[in-house]
Amino acid sequence: MAGASTSGSWPPGDLNSDGKGDLLGVTPAGELYRYLNTSPSKLSARAKIGTGFQIYNSMT
């Protein structure tokens, strides 16, 4: 997540059913982003999938 400012990140599992673990990140402004795992050491460009997450301090 180089260059991305996040308040936290979580490995939610495989979001796109490709067999690779993906990642979610939340910015200090509360924007929720998805990062798909594209190879063993690369993530896709971030995609905003939600807002208003600044009220949470953890995700499970």
- Output the six-digit token pair for 27: 């910015």
pLDDT of 2: 47
pLDDT of 6: 58
The DSSP H or E segment spanning 34 is: strand 32-35
pLDDT of 36: 95
Q: What is the pLDDT along the chain (60 residues), one digit of tens a residue?
A: 445 555 676 677 898 999 899 999 899 999 999 999 998 889 999 999 999 998 887 766
Nearest to 35 by CA among 51, 12, 59, 7: 12
pTM: 0.75
The DSSP H or E segment spanning 47 is: strand 47-50
d(C-alpha 52, C-alpha 32), whole Å: 8
pLDDT of 49: 96
pLDDT of 35: 94
